[in-house]
Chains A and B, each alone.
Chain A
């Protein structure tokens, strides 16, 4: 996509420059246009057409690089600065003074300095609100180093402890209300400065390296050195440090650099943790986010800080870290500069295709990890069309986790799914090229897409935590972002069109055959139809194999594939009609046309108002286009706010949430493997819900103890 640069922000800290800019991105989107078929012979005319249109969306770019590249950076800005009315460039951070003259001279712009802490907090609020899995707890000695946290609907209040050269402790109560409640002069500068004096090692990173190899017990006086063992009456362990550097109180002994660096690291981390806990206790807060160059992805310091917080809070407070901690100042400064665009009015999404992931902290995996500052590190945030909010029917939004399996945790499942996505990649690239037969460079772009996604998958093999918790959903999202990056809005559009045509031809006869059944039989047939429809899934390998090899494979064949004995419907369709039902379904294909629509029709006939939460590329349905249901707004088609085959009920289009409330929705149907199995299988709602899908993956079926094409039919009534 072409980027048009509007405004820039530069954050300059000790050795790194962060550049933030806003761009509009032009990319292709698939649009569906249906024709009016009233009274026409549908056999001879296409039902609808898909047109690829150019859409312009806003994107935020953040780039981080070493200060040595500052001139290159300024050239880049100069070249892209199209907005000639710009007279001012915002800069924040300690280096803003240092490079002020250079920037002003080179760009002919005035440098406008922004307050560091204000920017930091603005940035922090932004990432907490907009980036899922932004926050993590660090556990060095567990299988999963990074424990990502689900985004709490209410991010306030929290404590931000910024460990730069000193320490600032800020209490943040709302978007605009924050207060410096304390600080300490013993911070990163103390570690660096005192460390350099003690060890003659000049670089911060080298000091950390030394520290990770040292034995602090040679330098520190421990409780057992004073007591001979533990201090039983107070329950203080013998290994606790009684006095930092307490053993170096002698002029005639030599101490190793490593040991002194380690002792210094413990001293400073413990001190910061203790002060943070004291402040958290005084202000009754339990969330502490740590940031600043002392922390910035360094496993050694995250570990010691985590230990300290656990110790001093007796486990009551958790030390939390942020994936994009290094960008907070730049993001905040940018938001301040872009206030007239109201960036906070929108929801934003991390673009996995354009963002660098979190680096591994394990030296085995990534031995050169510390050299990464020499490379560019990027973050891209796409502005979403509409704000995203929680589904109001979620029982407890703060504990809702959309994903069923955490692949960061489950190594076996991770291996399987990564391989699965790798194996499917060639096919997807082929489809992508085929979806744009008229484009001359489709092949080339498809190959670029293949390469990019392949690289992402390899990164995720090494660093599953690179973009937060790894899930089937995040793998799908990453693929979609990569496809979009190369202008493939929907690689399946051609296939879908064909499938829709076939399905529509069968629609009438399916309806007729249903209508001929008695009530009970019909209910059963409807559900079977719903499930049979769900068999048709081009994303599922087992199915795409069948569909490729058996062109005649149809709805009836699908029904016969379903595993498991039918049983009568738990769903109480016999009782009073539901006020309003919300159905999450696929946006296209046999699935929706032959499975979901007849079901919808049945509900409508009972007087239930309906609206279907459809996907972004709205399939403007013609089946209901003339029905009274649509006219009377008994049936509404609504966007979910995402184009993923999976479903995150904590990030739904605001319009949908408003409708759910207004219409007093009392039934939620979630259909499909992505929406009901990979995600939301354990989602608890405050109303009746039905989750159904066919398992079209033999490994998953195996794992769940069933066979391929087994049926998941989960009907839940909220406990009173």
Chain B
């Protein structure tokens, strides 16, 4: 990429901002951003006001206009920034303003370039507040200040995540349900994605799978805690895939995984016991040892990169399912919502999680998913901006 190279507007952002006098958005200066800076990806949500009056239009400074145009008229920014157009929420009313919510992501390692761009465009002169969450809000705080002359408003990760999930679920996904589940997850023929009504969400186990995994238990709007986490997350899948297959993007890794056969790599129960291990009620198809077949030289030489990618995906996914299931049991919660960008375009993992939770809990636990997978932290940050008067 980078953001800096992609400078569309060379003009300085003016000092005059558009605002409607006396209305509820007073104090919330446009542009409205929410930022979630994770270990691997930066998630950015942008509210594009669609109800700008002629007067406002006239008053809107050149820079602000250009930023709006730039973000909304492109679907890709530089070489790595991407707007997830299919997730865009249309005709949303937020703080009395009508508009569209845009979802944009780019890799965390491009963060310096992003800040650089902000600096070159004198973003700070807009006197807006930039609310950010995620570890990067801390890590890049100093860079924002020195390079971009911007003071970040740091928001708690858990607060943002929970807030974001509840908000997006409440507004729905352009008339559809935000939350869904898989019916008949154990039967591939009859398995289908169906909407789920999350109107009464509590208690809820929230499993956020980013580079690593955080597991939260939410009992009410204000009562939630981090239960545990694991370092075996999306970063592990992608990292191991890079080492094992030489791939360089998450999409590539997933694509490979979709064509592979993990049973060549993993040792199954039936590989050890010839069938089911009845003494312990273990089915023959269950994985007994992830990568267990790779202990043998011959088998190492006979597997493909696709097989390895698939096995990595299955290993990480099953493990997350297993830890989530144990946490649900310990917390006495039976609905588990999986979010995070690991699940983006990753139907294999979602179905597997749905399957694993259903199978091992004998139907007691339900795996739920949300359409906006990894953006809830950023949405929460945006809501945090609007909450602060």
Contacts and interface: CB of A to CB of B under 8 A. Distances in A.
Chain A partners chain B: yes
Interface of A: 94, 115, 117-118, 164-166, 168, 180, 182-190, 192-194, 196-198, 202, 219-221, 223, 225-229, 231, 233-234, 240-252, 255, 260, 267, 270-271, 274-275, 278-279, 281-282, 312
B232 A244 contact: yes
Contacts, number: 199
B301 to A, nearest CB: 11
A193 B289 contact: yes
Given A193-B291, A271-B232, A282-B330, A227 B315 contact: no
A232 to B, nearest CB: 9
Most buried by B among A180, A227, A279: A227
A671 to B, nearest CB: 53
A271 B326 contact: no
B28 to A, nearest CB: 25
A243 B212 contact: yes
A227 B38 CA distance: 9
B289 A165 contact: yes
Contacts of B322: 182, 184, 275
Nearest to B210: A243
A281 B330 contact: yes
Interface stretch (B7-15, B81-89, B112-120, B131-139): B131-139
Given A189-B292, A194-B294, A226-B211, A246 B239 contact: yes
Given A226-B39, A242-B39, A279-B326, A166 B243 contact: no
A247 to B, nearest CB: 7
Contacts of B266: 185
B138 A229 contact: yes
B243 A234 contact: no
Nearest to B141: A228
Interface stretch (B47-55, B71-79, B177-185, B223-231): B223-231
Interface of B: 38-40, 134-136, 138-141, 156, 210-212, 226, 228, 230-236, 238-240, 242-244, 246-248, 265-267, 272, 279-282, 286-295, 297, 300, 308, 315, 318-319, 322-323, 326-327, 329-330
Contacts of B40: 243, 246, 249
B326 A202 contact: no
A185 B289 contact: yes
Given A187-B290, A202-B297, A226-B39, 19 more contacts: A165-B288, A180-B280, A185-B286, A189-B290, A189-B291, A189-B292, A193-B265, A193-B294, A223-B135, A225-B139, A227-B135, A227-B136, A228-B139, A240-B231, A242-B231, A243-B212, A245-B236, A250-B242, A267-B231
A279 to B, nearest CB: 7
A149 B212 CA distance: 36
Contacts of B291: 189-190, 192-194, 197
A117 B315 contact: no
Most buried by A among B230, B234, B239, B330: B239
Most buried by A among B39, B242, B246, B287: B39
B178 to A, nearest CB: 27
Contacts of A184: 319, 322
B220 to A, nearest CB: 20
A243 B39 contact: yes
A267 B242 contact: no
A271 B291 CA distance: 15
B272 A94 contact: yes
A193 B39 contact: no
Contacts of A246: 39-40, 211-212, 231, 233, 235-236, 239
A278 B327 contact: yes
Contacts of A247: 239
B238 A249 contact: yes
Nearest to A197: B294
Contacts of A250: 242, 248
B324 to A, nearest CB: 10
A186 B315 contact: yes
A226 B139 contact: yes
A248 B289 contact: no
A166 B280 contact: no
A270 B280 contact: no
Contacts of A255: 243
A213 to B, nearest CB: 18
Contacts of A188: 289
Contacts of B210: 243
Contacts of B292: 165-166, 185, 189-190, 193
Nearest to B240: A245
Contacts of A312: 228
Most buried by B among A180, A193, A255: A193
21 contacts: A164-B289, A165-B267, A166-B267, A166-B290, A185-B319, A189-B291, A190-B291, A192-B294, A193-B293, A225-B39, A226-B134, A226-B136, A227-B139, A228-B139, A229-B138, A244-B212, A244-B232, A244-B235, A251-B242, A260-B243, A274-B323
A246 B231 CA distance: 9
A278 B323 contact: yes
A267 B233 CA distance: 11
A244 B319 contact: no
A375 B243 CA distance: 37
Q: Which 7 A-B pairs have the closest CB atoms?
A: A193-B294, A245-B239, A226-B135, A243-B235, A189-B289, A189-B292, A246-B235
A246 B229 CA distance: 15
Nearest to A242: B212
A244 B288 contact: no
A485 B211 CA distance: 61
B156 A233 contact: yes
A251 B135 contact: no
Contact of B233 (A115, A202, A228, A243): A243
A623 B32 CA distance: 103
B231 A194 contact: no
Nearest to B318: A185
Contacts of A115: 279
Contacts of B300: 193, 196-197
Contacts of B138: 227-229, 231
A407 B271 CA distance: 48
A193 B243 contact: no
A221 B39 contact: yes
A250 B330 CA distance: 37
A197 B293 CA distance: 11
Contacts of B318: 185
Contacts of A180: 279-282
Contact of A185 (B139, B212, B233, B315): B315
Contacts of B232: 186, 244, 267, 271
Contact of A190 (B239, B247, B272, B290): B290
B248 A248 contact: no
A243 B244 contact: no
A248 B242 contact: yes
B39 A196 contact: no
Nearest to A260: B243
B231 A270 contact: yes
Contacts of B231: 220, 240-244, 246, 267, 270
B139 A278 contact: no
A271 B212 contact: no
B280 A117 contact: yes
Contacts of A278: 228, 323, 326-327, 330
Contacts of B228: 274, 278, 312
B20 to A, nearest CB: 36
Given A248-B242, A271-B230, A243 B236 contact: yes
Contact of B211 (A168, A221, A271): A221
A166 B281 CA distance: 16
B105 to A, nearest CB: 15
